[in-house]
Structure 1
């Protein structure tokens, strides 16, 4: 049974919603509720109001608490419907929800590859034309982030039945996953899509889970302060961020009189990739911008706002050496300025911009960057801008804890907290691209994430994880790879969890597109893992899995399990992508591999001294080892024993 959120947490929004419907917005016509588990229902009414909740032939009595919040639990039911759900208050108020189905409820979450809609996926015309299925319904949670957990959604939601008019905007993976499951388990499927492109896993976790991991306390303290005193929170965050930067370099580019060389920045050309500067043509990372603006005494004394216009992607802004704002991607940026930050005469404006994908910089028109004063006047920042690169070890800096996609717990507060009482069949998780800069920590993060959400959705709720697909240029020699390290974190976290399954997707990637279109095969592999974990299907949950690596004369033998039929190599007699490695980075060599039954024998220049074996260890590797399912052996690293 799901664990109820503490009343204090749920009451954050209730006080301002006295005129809302009795039921939480989750409960609307066409809703699907979880079969064979207690059915949790909740909402709000007048404080102390007595209510009767009825579903089919079951009913229960409950009472709203002092904040108006109420909750009830109805007995479990078998798959079926349609039914009617109603809530009646002693005052005579009543709400009725029609076409309620009992089946399996899935929460589909993650970042852009989970968001990716059917109309953008492979063979979309045929998929849309043949999509009508009244027993598959989807609710898409609106994007929202907040420093504190929320009771309700940020905007209205609706349960939609699958049809040619609705599915174009459905999450493709989530829809196809349900469709695959229905081939063997013909019950209604309720899909809740709660995903946000570019989001890091930390933004989906609760503050308590992050604190338990260590290293996040100061940033979380600043986040908590941001909802009541944003100026103090900015000051606190400045201390954290500037301290982090100074640990890597003695330089302080944000100061009013910085040292070092600053080169002319042709901001009128927009993105820095379009400046014609070779070192920036394909640069992803942080870039420093600065300019000066001269103000009168009257202007400096007014309340003012700094407008930056469009920024790609994240930014932090200092005026006269004082941090005045920090925000993640999205929308035009503007920051109300704290008192006494401006001064008569020359003022320095310094902006650090972080770009992690595609183009970066200040693409908006020059007039969009200005200081706007309370009297309606403004001063456009159209004077000379200059730029400089940070040192390599500071190119990907800390992100402000209130940023939506890279913050701490803020997406959880806005998009998952409103769902936290719901009974689920399971969770599909497709995320990781935004955490490849910390791949070595991802196993710990994902393991804690599993535990975190299980406190909200039930101790035994299963997770089904899509491992990262290949993306980026192919490698011609062994390299260290953040993408490979993150895939290994995904593999190990799932391996250690008896209620989790992994869908290998490395072979489904597209080198030039981080959003591969073949979501049908991703869904098939997710469904296979789910059937193995949930329904005890005897078929292996994924492709061949390494068991051990051991010495065999002058070679290394890797043993595999979970093989359907036998091991096969595509397009050649031998599989490729195996490496034998020493303990230190940079010691890996490509190995010649030979299939021997359920094992692969590896020979290489360093095989006799190797301490590790890696397979398909690259951002976008070529992986040719499969079984006869046919399913690929996923990327891995394993010790030689």
Structure 2
């Protein structure tokens, strides 16, 4: 026997290597809920060119993996039911399985901190948590992440979990309480996907193509940041510098002696400095630190580490803007090429902007450093000075790579990986961080809804929009209100969209707490809106102002969506109605009497071109319909 023949026979006796099993996308894990009543998209990965067969409830579909290793099949629609096992099989019988799947309705709940607010902090939490034991409700939470480009999978492991007293405490309270009411009325399995991030504006949640009309200036800057972060920071820095100079007339990055400096007690939150002036300080503070380098050290370049800064920073080294970041849990690290450093004294300037809660360096001091490339690390834990910005110099511009305010970064990492997963609807509770933003929130809300519908392949996907809750000091007379303007933008955005419903919450808040605990009532109102917008129930969402017109010495405001009639609680008059002329100074409170679905405002004979209602951060109102639902804030022209 020749050596070649021996090798051939030996190889023939060795079993062929088993093919790797196809992989189901993690969204299709054990306990998942699939959307009823529409084709079910299922996807995953396998070897390029491999034929994958997907089977659910004895129905199979086959797809061939593309060059990118991805495959997708569309299974026929199914009625509510289960449990089922989902199988994706490939060559040599290798298969991936997900068990205990249900078919029902899937809701995506998203927004900022009031959607993120967990069940364990809600009213009556202990009782509600103990009763949360429903095997036909499944929960999935998306972790906070950002990305400069749309992602096809999540950066963190995700998995569905059964609703139990152990799984629900950290889940979104508004989302869960909505689902609890829907389970009682619709009696189908529910899957809840929670993807929220506190403190975020709306722009990061919109895909870049849809956001481009609002981000024309930033789109190119974001693309530059992907290629060269330092170059992008240099370009954005000119915008930031102009903002500061217009308000103060100074350029401290060119000559820091333009500011008055004091020794910083410690590189830690300024609320802990022991200075009464910083006990509850929210504003902008400059920090300065000088460091000496040898010619050899400067020639290497370095990495500047500042630890976590709360909230935002604009950082300069030797007068050059090198970084701008936002986030009370984000560690700042900025690469410094050799051309920015010099032999001798180098100056680090950090403009720290804080809008709420703690402010400044988080510390400890040991995390602040300058690491010379290939050399020693110099401690920057002490020796800092600080200078407080003039009163009113707040809210500096934020760059498009800002995780909380920039263009598309959160969408890319927290919505895009959901792919075309089947949904019944989406609940959106966000807006606090956009108060005071003069760009058009209603148009951005429309862009968000359109972009998500396109991704989820659902052109008429229902959206439930929660209008901001009341928060802030009460007022004794009409005045401008950024919160009221944002609520008006939410109302307009929802009114423009035939598949959106507005959920009013301006009577559920706390004057001194931006995160009200009564999420049960928010959930009840969300569920009612869902039954109207997504389930076709003949159940009004709540009173909505439609028109204001003159009639026989009065102005009549007509409402739609009223259950029964409008009733003023604790009196015969409805509070918080205003008549206004062309300017703010003309606004005054009006005598208002409800009658069925109309509120009659007494004409006081003074010029009036518009009606406003509940125009305040924390309006005091007493008008409800017989379903115990209030009309929301509005502004209407008088016809």
Superposition TM-score, scaled by structure 2 size: 0.92
After superposition, the Cα gap between the structure-2 partners of 1:613 and 1:464, relative to the gap in structure 1 and judged at 3 Å, is same
SS in 1 for 2:162: strand
1:597 CA displacement? 3.7
Q: Following the alignment from structure 2 to structure 1, what is the Cα–Cα distance between the partners of residues 438 and 537?
A: 31
| CA shift in 2, pair 1:323/1:459, >3 Å | same
Q: Which SS does the other structure have where 2:123 is aligned?
A: coil
1:241 aligns with 2:236: no
The answer (yes or no) to whether the contact 1:253–1:288 under 8 Å persists in 2 is no
Equivalent position to 1:299, from 297, 300, 315: 297
Q: CA deviation at 1:400?
A: 2.1
Q: Secondary structure at the match of 1:182?
A: helix
1: CA distance between counterparts of 2:88 and 2:560?
Answer: 53
Shift of 1:528: 0.7
Q: 1:592 to 1:281 in 2, by over 3 A?
A: farther
Given that residues 589 and 604 in structure 1 are in contact (C-alpha distance below 8 angstroms), is that contact kept between their aligned partners in structure 2?
A: no
In the alignment, structure 1 residue 456 sits paired with structure 2 residue 452: no
Per-residue deviation at 1:254? Answer: 2.6
Cα distance, 1:285 vs structure 2? 3.9
Structure 2 equivalent of residue 509 of structure 1: 509
Alpha-carbon distance, 1:20 to partner: 9.0
Shift of 1:94: 0.9
Asked if the contact 1:108/1:193 (under 8 Å) is kept, the reply is yes
Post-superposition offset of 1:346: 2.2
Larger radius of gyration: 2
Rounded to whole Å, the distance in 2 between the matches of 1:591 and 1:577 is 8
* 2:223 alignment partner in structure 1: 224
Partners of 2:284 and 2:353 within 8 A in 1: yes
CA contact (8 A) 2:110 2:196 kept: yes
Find the residue that maps to 1:594 and give its secondary structure.
strand
Which deviations, in whole Å up to 9, do the C-alpha atoms of 1:210-262 show, x marking residues without a partner?
11x24x2342223223333222232233244334555656533332x146442
Aligned-partner SS, 1:148: coil
- The alignment partner of 1:623 has SS state of coil
Q: Is the 8 A contact 1:148 1:224 kept in 2?
A: no
Post-superposition Cα deviations, 1:26-47, rounded to whole Å, max 9, x if no partner, equal 1101111000101001111111
Superposed, which structure 2 residues align to 1:120-139 within 5 Å?
120-139=121-140
Contact 1:50 1:89 (C-alpha < 8 Å) held by counterparts: yes
Tell me the equivalent position of 2:6: none
Q: Is the 8 A contact 2:206 2:451 kept in 1?
A: yes
C-alpha change, 1:311 and 1:604, in structure 2 (3 Å) is farther
Cα deviation code 1:64-87 (max 9, x no counterpart): 111111111111111111111100
Contact kept in structure 2, 1:318 and 1:325, CA below 8 Å:
yes
Q: d(CA) in 2 for partners of 1:384 and 1:45?
A: 54
1:409 aligns with 2:408: yes
Which aligned pairs between 1:30-69 and structure 2 lie closer than 5 A?
A: 30-69=31-70
State the shift of 1:494 in Å: 0.8
Superposition deviation, residue 484 in structure 1: 0.8
Long gaps (5+) in structure 1: 1-17
- Given the alignment of the two structures, is residue 87 of structure 1 paired with residue 85 of structure 2, yes or no? no
Greater displacement, 629-638 / 290-299: 290-299
Distance 2:569 2:320 in 1: 59
How far apart are the structure 1 equivalents of 2:388 and 2:380? 22
Within a 5 Å distance, the mapping from 1:549-564 to structure 2 comes to: 549-552=548-551, 555-564=554-563
CA distance in 2, matches of 1:145, 1:281: 32
Would you say the 8 A contact 1:478–1:579 is kept in 2?
yes
- In structure 1, distance between residues paired with 2:390 and 2:235: 22
Is contact 2:287-2:386 (8 Å) kept? yes
The answer as to 2:559 corresponding to 1:585 is no
Go from structure 1 to structure 2 and tell me whether the alpha carbon gap of 1:247 and 1:62 turns closer, same or farther (over 3 Å shift). Answer: farther
Identify the range of structure 1 (570-579 vs 375-384) with the bigger mean alpha-carbon deviation: 375-384
1:441 alignment partner in structure 2: 440
Distance in 2 separating the partners of 1:304 and 1:113:
40
C-alpha displacement at 1:207, in angstroms? 0.8
Q: Deviations over 1:132-186 (max 9, x none)?
A: 0010001111211000111111111111110111111221111111111121211
Q: Which residue of structure 2 lines up, in the alignment, with residue 9 of structure 1?
A: none
SS where residue 108 of structure 1 aligns? strand
Structure 1 position 611 matched with structure 2 position 609: yes
Contact kept? 2:21, 2:89, Cα under 8 Å: no
Query: Does the residue aligned with 2:339 lie in a helix, a strand or coil?
Result: coil
The one of 609, 632, 635 aligned to 2:633: 635
CA-atom RMSD in angstroms: 2.3
Q: How does 1:116-155 map to 2 (within 5 A)?
A: 116-155=117-156
Matched, 1:319 2:314: no
8 A contact 2:298–2:338 mirrored in 1: no
2:556 and 2:98 map into 1 onto residues whose CA distance is 61
Residue 545 of structure 1 corresponds to which residue in structure 2? 544
Instruction: Tell me the SS of whatever aligns to 1:66.
Output: coil
Query: Is 1:471 the equivalent of 2:471?
Result: yes
Q: Distance in 2 between matches of 1:265 and 1:19?
A: 62
Q: Describe the superposition over 1:527-549 as per-residue Cα deviations: whole angstroms up to 9, x where unpaired.
A: 1111112232222112x221222
Alignment of 1:410-429 (within 5 A): 410-429=409-428
Partner Cα distance (2:362, 2:340) in 1: 26
Deviates more, 1:154-163 or 1:279-288: 279-288
Supply the distance in 1 between the matched residues of 2:389 and 2:120 (Cα, whole angstroms). Answer: 39
Q: 1:59, 1:74 within 8 Å by CA — same for their partners in 2? A: yes
Q: Is the 8 A contact 2:120 2:170 kept in 1?
A: yes
**Residue in structure 2 matched with residue 10 of structure 1 by the alignment:** none
On the 8 A contact 2:488/2:633 being kept in 1, the answer is yes
Provide closer, same or farther for how the CA distance between residues 275 and 577 of structure 1 changes in structure 2, counting only shifts above 3 A: farther
Distance in 2, matches of 1:240 and 1:144, equals 26
Query: Partner of 1:389 in structure 2?
Result: 389
Q: Given that residues 231 and 338 in structure 1 are in contact (C-alpha distance below 8 angstroms), is that contact kept between their aligned partners in structure 2?
A: no
Deviation at 1:91, TM superposition (A): 4.4
Cα separation, partners in 2 of 1:60 and 1:514, compared to 1, 3 Å:
same
Question: What TM-score does the superposition give when structure 1 sets the normalisation length?
Answer: 0.91
Does structure 2 conserve the Cα–Cα contact (< 8 Å) formed by 1:287 and 1:390?
no
- CA gap of 1:455–1:244, structure 2 versus 1, over 3 A, is farther
Aligned equivalents of 1:240 and 1:430: distance in 2? Answer: 31
Asked if 1 retains the 8 angstrom alpha-carbon contact of 2:303 and 2:336, the reply is yes
Indicate which of 613, 618, 623 corresponds to 1:625. 623
Q: Which deviations, in whole Å up to 9, do the C-alpha atoms of 1:487-532 show, x marking residues without a partner?
A: 1111111111110111110100011111111111111101111111
The 8 Å contact of residues 625 and 632 in structure 1, kept in 2 or not, is answered as: yes
Equivalent residue, structure 2, for 1:354: 353
Aligned to 2:530: 530
Alignment partner, residue 7 of structure 2: none
In structure 2, the CA distance between the partners of 1:343 and 1:269, relative to structure 1 (3 Å rule), is closer
Matches of 2:635 and 2:430, distance apart in 1: 21
